[in-house]
Structure 1
Amino acid sequence: MTEVFDMLLTLAQDIKTIKAYLLNFHKSRLEQFSDEWIDGQVVMQTLHISKRTLQSLRDSGVLPYSRINGKFYYKVSDMEALLESNYSPSKSKHYGDQ
């Protein structure tokens, strides 16, 4: 009986170790994703905006960018910040409220 108990304790510890590893891996992937650079085409596709709208976001300083040989690049974290700054939560109405 103690043998089974010891095996269960070992298994529980192994699961905790795996969980810690996965959480650490997830955090490092999120940090890597935030520092990733993407080109304008990906930005337009992701945000469903036109080339002109993207240019307006650049010109107004709303979306920071880097330009290399005439091609524009954007940080994913800057796109996230733009989306977060324009986030408006839904105002749910209850049926009884008028």
Structure 2
Amino acid sequence: MTEVFDMLLTLAQDIKTIKAYLLNFHKSRLEQFSDEWIDGQVVMQTLHISKRTLQSLRDSGVLPYSRINGKFYYKVSDMEALLESNYSPSKSKHYGDK
């Protein structure tokens, strides 16, 4: 009986170790994601905008970019900043309130 109990304690500790590793991995992926570069096609699909709208955002300086061999790249963190700067919180406290 004590063998089973010892095995369960060991298993519980192993699960805690795996959980800590996964949480750390998830955090590092989130940090990497914020510094990630994506191309214009992904930006257009993500924001549901046209090629012309994306060009307007570039031309007006609203969305910073990098250009390599005629292809445009954007930082995910810049897209997030653009979305945050245009965020309009709901005027009502609860969804569906009139």
Bin the TM-score by the shorter chain.
Answer: 0.7 to 0.9
Per-residue CA shift, 1:7-38, capped at 9, x if unaligned?
22111100100101111111122222222211
Instruction: Name the % identity.
Output: 99
Distance 1:32 1:96, change over 3 A: closer
Per-residue CA shift, 1:55-98, capped at 9, x if unaligned?
22112221110011222110112112211222233344669987
TM-score, normalised relative to structure 2: 0.81
Q: How many residues align?
A: 98
Distance 1:97 1:16, change over 3 A: closer
Distance 1:13 1:95, change over 3 A: closer
RMSD, aligned CA:
2.6
Long gaps (5+) in structure 1:
none
Q: Which moved more, 1:26-35 or 1:57-66?
A: 26-35
Long gaps (5+) in structure 2:
none
Q: Which runs of 4+ in 1 moved over 4 A?
A: 93-98
TM-score, normalised relative to structure 1: 0.81
